[in-house]
Amino acid sequence: MPDIIQLLPDHVANQIAAGEVVQRPASVVKELLENAIDAGATEVTLVLKDAGKTLVQVIDNGIGMSATDARLCFERHATSKIKSAEDLFNLHTKGFRGEALASIAAIAHVELKTKTDTAEMGVKIAIEGSEVTSQEMVVIPKGTTISVKNLFYNIPARRNFLKSNPVETRHIIDEFHRVALAHPQVGFEMIHNGSNVFSLPGTKLRQRIVNIFGSKTNEKLVPVAEETDIVKVNGFVLKPEFARKSRGEQFFFVNDRFIKSPYLHHAVASAFEGLIKTENHPGYFLYLEVDPHAIDINIHPTKTEIKFEDEHAIYAMLRSTIKHSLGQFSIAPVLDFNRDAGFDTPYEYSKKSPKVPTIEVDKNFNPFQKEPKQGNISFPFKREKSPAWESLYVGLEDEESSNDNSFSLENIEMESEEVTGSLFEGQHQENGKVTFQIQNKYIVSSIKSGLIVIHQNLAHQRILYEELLKNITLHQAVSQQLLFPISFQFSKSKVAMLQSLKEQLEDTGFVFSEIKEELVEISGVPSGVLESSVEEILQQLIADIETEVPEAGYSQNDLMAKSLAKSMAIKTGVSLSMEAQEHIIHQLFACKEPSVSPNNRPVFVTMGINDFDKKFM
């Protein structure tokens, strides 16, 4: 039998590895930014074109590379981070497997310019599809500049799987945030299509969070700090009142590396138990420092998952640390007794030496001696004698005698409930039909064949969904103007998303008077929307758009209508008048698809007379 196993060519192996390392332009951004951090850079600039599809360029002022290192860095499994297997469990850097640059060079046009501090000239290397096309000496400042152009140019199928530019940009911003939050002391700048998106100077952690997520974030932060032999925890959690239904501002960092850990997230959620609603999620920026020997970060290709040696102890410490911080800053209720401030030691006595108290005793005191009788006590004010209690009832006989009707039990009206034969009082209509609510959740009404039970929240979602979709399509929204404009502060990325959705939102009835870097001002809202719920509606819309990432314009309009309908619909637990119940029923059956909600859940169920008959057989 002939041999059938053969070694793959290097360029094929690199393309296979690229399938794990490089999934989209955001993957390239992550690897290049981490390389810049490992190089000791204090200023990093990220330049993008067309959401990274055309160009991803990272410029840093790190230590740079020699000409030999610049050539070797594109070889597979070539790295300066580890030399033996034991080094895998003592890692202090980001990249260590030596696959990133080789994988990127296999599927893009890469240009590298680098220079060390001691070298007089730098080196420039150009690579296309793992093949070096040119290498020359250039005059450049210290540091490294790497440009990745035309990503997936030689794999058209992979390029076709990329999403639209706004979606890919959103993924890049997420990776940019993670690296910037992990290293607040490093200055970062992000430029997309010639416009400056982020300019973050090197600063402390709290200021870095505020610079990224907006100035309003500062008042939401609660410091967390604890140090033990196993783990050192610091960072911030958001106050319970700012918990959201979306999982937006949740960041875990272990040894300055961003990770995803449902187990540790559960520890944070349990610390907030009783302080937030069950459907809401707390926000946090938590940094853990663990001995590198106690973790394994090589269990996932993107290195976003970590295995802890003693994760149960870290879970308990993280949970108790957050609980302690919430209690320490009077966020969570604690058992505290009122104390009298008069018992506190005055400041002027804090440095004085104590004195022995002196006791004075009256030696002439005799407990058996009779005390002199007390004389008459005179009062300076003369008190008048109160009238007798009989006088309170003077004249009652005259009033009773003057009345024609004598006092009897028959004249007393007793307060009582009227006994009726109806379970649902006051809800009979003229035509004999009845509509009523069950536990302020379901609307029950009679039909020819029997009974219909309608879920009021889902029914209102269907009504609003079709109305909003019609308004967005035909531009026929009805808006109610506000007496005073209301303004909200969002992060730059969220404001950019609202800016891209402005036209569709205006078609639904929102009127934007101003949209700036971190400020959104609204002067009009859709008819029926409460002013107090506008911010929650916009937050939920942004979260839904980020989660479901629509691509085409139609699907984006559909998703927006679903999100707004869900936020604006009547919630379960709201009591409705009979007129409101009838209005929902009439509007529901005027819809094109009354039987299902926008998310394909059943809106109503019917029970026929035969179904009732079977119950009594």
7 pLDDT tier (thresholds 50, 70, 90): confident
Residue 431 reports pLDDT greater than 60: no
Residues 217 and 68 in one domain: no
Identify the pLDDT of residue 251: 92
Residue 269 shares a structural domain with residue 147: no
Q: Say if 590 falls within a structural domain.
A: yes
* 259 shares a domain with 196: no
Within a domain: residue 353? no
Which H/E stretch holds residue 217? none
Rounded average pLDDT over 24-40: 90
Q: Are residues 175 and 244 in the same domain?
A: no
Q: How confident is the model at residue 480 (pLDDT cuts 50, 70, 90)?
A: confident
Q: What is the DSSP letter of 87?
A: G
Find out whether 458 and 609 touch, Cβ atoms under 8 Å. Answer: no
218 and 292 share one domain: yes
Q: Which of 523, 528, 488 is nearest to 506 (CA)?
A: 523
pLDDT of residue 144: 92
SS3 301: coil
Q: How many domains does the chain have?
A: 3
Query: Are residues 244 and 317 located together in one domain of the fold?
Result: yes
pLDDT at residue 46 above 90?
yes
Strands (DSSP E) contained in 22-176 are 43-49, 55-60, 109-115, 122-128, 131-138, 143-149
Task: Show the tokens assigned to 463.
Answer: 């009504």
Q: Taking all residues of the chain, what is their mean pLDDT, rounded to a whole number?
A: 80
Beta carbons within 8 Å of 450's beta carbon, 6+ residues apart: 606, 607, 608, 609, 611, 612
Average confidence (pLDDT) over 358-370: 79
Between 341 and 125, the higher pLDDT residue: 125
51 or 302: whose pLDDT is higher? 51
Quote the percentage of the chain above a pLDDT of 90: 22
Q: Does any domain span residue 47?
A: yes
Give CA angle at 519 (516, 524), nearest 5°.
100
Does 404 have pLDDT greater than 60?
Answer: no
Q: Is the pLDDT of residue 43 over 90?
A: yes
Tell me if 370 is assigned to some domain. no
- The verdict on residue 250 lying in a domain is yes
Question: Which ranges constitute the DSSP H helices of 1-148?
Answer: 10-21, 25-38, 67-72, 100-106
Residues 212 and 182 in one domain: no
Enumerate residues 6+ apart whose C-beta is below 8 A from 113.
122, 123, 124, 138, 140, 144, 145, 146
Within this chain, do residues 185 and 291 fall inside the same structural domain, yes or no? Answer: no
**Do 468 and 324 share a structural domain?**
no
CATH code (residue 279)? 3.30.230.10
Domain boundary among 178, 202, 226: 202
- State the Cα–Cα distance between residues 95 and 298, nearest whole angstrom: 10
Length of the chain: 617
171 part of a folded domain: yes
Q: Is the dihedral of CA 589, 594, 598, 603 positive or negative?
A: positive
Contact 225/287 with Cβ under 8 angstroms? no
Residues 240 and 157 in one domain: no
Return the CATH number at 30: 3.30.565.10
Do residues 193 and 49 lie in contact, with contact meaning Cβ atoms separated by under 8 Å? Answer: yes
The DSSP 8-state label assigned to residue 218 in this structure reads G
Which tens digit of pLDDT belongs to each residue from 508-535? Answer: 888 888 887 778 888 888 877 888 888 8
In three-state secondary structure terms, 94 is: coil
CB atoms under 10 Å from CB of 27, counted, come to 24
Q: Is the separation of the CB atoms in 77 and 99 below 8 Å?
A: yes
Model confidence at 302, in pLDDT bands (50, 70, 90)? low
- The CA radius of gyration of the chain, in Å to the nearest whole number, is 37
pLDDT at 421 over 80: no
Express each pLDDT in 165-210 by its tens digit: 888 888 899 899 999 999 999 999 999 998 888 899 999 999 999 9
Q: Where does the pLDDT of residue 124 fall: very low under 50, low under 70, confident under 90, or very high at 90 and above?
A: very high
130 and 163 housed in the same domain: yes
Q: What is the mean pLDDT of residues 269-287?
A: 88
Q: Do 184 and 231 fall within a single domain?
A: no
Residue-wise pLDDT tens digits, 233-272: 999 999 988 888 777 788 999 988 888 888 899 999 999 9
Q: Cα–Cα distance between 71 and 365 in angstroms, integer?
A: 106
pLDDT tens per residue, range 546-595: 766 554 444 777 888 888 888 888 888 888 888 888 888 888 888 888 88
pLDDT at 177: 92
Say if residue 298's pLDDT is above 70. Answer: no
For residue 220, is it within any domain?
Answer: yes
pLDDT category of residue 109 using cuts at 50, 70 and 90: very high
Question: Which stretch of 35-39, 219-223, 387-391 has the lowest confidence by average pLDDT?
Answer: 387-391
pLDDT > 70 fraction of the chain, expressed in percent and rounded: 79
Of 207, 154, 152, whose CA–CA distance to 181 is shortest? 207
Residue 200, pLDDT score: 92
Q: How far is CA 194 from the centre of its chain?
A: 30
DSSP state of 598: T
CATH code of 521's domain: 3.30.1370.100
Final residue of a domain: which of 165, 183, 202? 202
For 44, phi and psi rounded to 5 degrees?
Answer: -130, 130
Beta partners for residue 286, in sequence order: 235, 252
Give the pLDDT confidence score for residue 61 in this predicted structure: 92
Torsion of CA 482, 483, 489, 490, to 10 degrees: 10
User: Is residue 245 one of the residues assigned to a domain?
Assistant: yes
Provide the pLDDT for residue 467: 87
Return d(Cα 316, Cα 254) in angstroms, integer: 16
* End position of a domain, from candidates 202, 228, 260: 202
pLDDT at 430: 46
- Going by C-alpha positions, the residue among 606, 600, 598 that lies closest to residue 568 is 598
Owning domain of residue 226:
207-328
Asked if residue 422 has pLDDT above 90, the reply is no
Answer whether 81's CB lies under 8 Å from 34's CB. no
